[in-house]
Structures are given as structure tokens and as C-alpha cells.
Amino acid sequence: MNSVLIVSSSDKGIELLTQLLNANAPSSITSATNSSEARRLLNNFEYDLIIINAPLKDEFGDNLSTTITEISASGVILVVKSEIADDISAKVEDYGVLVVSKPIMRPVFFQSLKLALASKKRISCLKNENIHLQHKLEEIRIVTRAKCVLIQYLNMTENQAHRYIEKQAMDMRTTREEISQRILKTYET
């Protein structure tokens, strides 16, 4: 774990959570005292873990926790009073927010910490895979458009256009996408 954001209205809460985190593994810890400050910090930096000690000064903290899961891959732990933990958990669990009740029991906190970090790693891998697949899809679109241009302007069949792009890419030691972009630039301008 590299970076942690603790959001708590009380200095005592920040101190306790910092001690718990440092007992597990030293981290780069940043703190915010309200949700507005936390949102500003999140606009500038991606944290591995975000711990929200509810209630906050400007909101309870459940809305902040769900918003964080929608805009980042960070693991999120929401710390609430034990009387309302089940209700809050039911409200935020579909977003992947882990709820820990107060008073904090160390074993439960450390288990939640491990789960939150594991979910962050999984989400990051899925985001990277998504980016890779989007790039592949864009490449396929460009190659397909280039094939259509070759069919239209040079009266090639689809197989001929495909072979032409493949052969040009091999001969010029470049990608099919680059060859396709050159074709599009030549015939579509």
C-alpha cells in the first residue's frame, strides 16, 4: 500500500487511523477534514485506499464513499457507529465500499484493509484491460475503414484489401494500423 487518504472531521479519528495503518505497513498518508476537501484532493491524485470516518462536517460520508468508487479505482472503507453499520452497509455495498463499525476492532479493520486493497488491484487490472481492448477496437475500426477505401477506390475484394494491408505492414515493418492510417490519409483527404 503506497498512498492513503483519511477523511475524518476529528483529529482523534485521523490519529487513530494513522496508527492502525502504520502498525500494518508504513504508508504515505494524507488527511482531509471534510468531503469537499477530500474531493479536491481526489481531483489531483489517485489513492490506493481511502478511509472515511463518518460522520463528516459537511455530510455523513456515505455519498462521498459511493462517489469515490464511481470516479476512481481506490479501495474504500467507511467507518461508522455500530448501531447503523448494517443499514449503511446495505446502502453502499453494491458500490464495493467496505463498512467497519466503531469501536474499531483491529482484526476486522486489518481484514477490511486487505479486502479493500485486493479490490483496488483487481479494478486497476480491469481498467488496464479495458484500455487495451478499446485500443484494439479502434485499430480494427481503422483497418476496416482502410479496407473499404481500397475496395472503393482500387476495386479490390475484401480479401485482397486485407492481404494488401498485411503485406505492406510486414514489408515496411510497421503495424496494420499505421498502414491503414496512411491509406486513409491518401484517399480521404
Are residues 12 and 94 located together in one domain of the fold? yes
| 124 vs 73: CA distance, rounded Å | 6
pLDDT above 60: residue 158? yes
The per-residue pLDDT for 180 is 96
Are residues 10 and 78 located together in one domain of the fold? yes
Determine the 3-state secondary structure of 7 from DSSP: strand
Determine the 3-state secondary structure of 109 from DSSP: helix
The per-residue pLDDT for 168 is 96
Contact 39, 64 (CB under 8 A): yes
The per-residue pLDDT for 27 is 77
pLDDT band at 112 (very low <50, low <70, confident <90, very high): very high
pLDDT band at 1 (very low <50, low <70, confident <90, very high): low
Q: Tell me the residue type at 42.
A: L
pLDDT band at 100 (very low <50, low <70, confident <90, very high): very high
Average pLDDT over residues 75-99: 95
Say if 122 falls within a structural domain: no
| 160 vs 185: CA distance, rounded Å | 20
Say if 111 falls within a structural domain: no
**Whole-structure pTM value:** 0.77
What angle, rounded to 10 degrees, do the helices at 158-171 and 176-188 form?
120
Determine the 3-state secondary structure of 26 from DSSP: coil
pLDDT above 80: residue 176? yes
CA-CA distances (angstroms) from residue 15 to 11, 81, 102? 6, 18, 15
As to burial, measured by CB atoms within 10 angstroms (0-12 exposed, 13-18 middle, 19+ buried), residue 74 is: buried
pLDDT above 90: residue 82? yes
Say if 109 falls within a structural domain: no
Q: Which long-range contacts (CB under 8 A, 24 or more apart) does 86-93 make?
A: 88/54, 88/62, 91/62, 92/62, 92/65, 92/66
Query: Exposed e or buried b for every residue in 37-65, given b needs 16+ CB within 10 A?
Result: bbeebbeeeebbbbbbbbebeeebbbebb
pLDDT above 80: residue 111? yes
Q: Which secondary structure element, helix H or strand E, spans residue 150, and what is its range? A: helix 106-154
pLDDT above 60: residue 54? yes
- Single out the residue in 35, 69, 104 at which a domain terminates: 104
pLDDT above 60: residue 63? yes
Percent of the chain with pLDDT over 70: 98
Beta bridge partners, 64, equal none
Give the CATH number of the domain where residue 150 resides: 1.10.10.10
pLDDT above 70: residue 22? yes
Q: Which residues span the domain enclosing 146?
A: 131-188
Are residues 93 and 158 located together in one domain of the fold? no
The per-residue pLDDT for 2 is 81
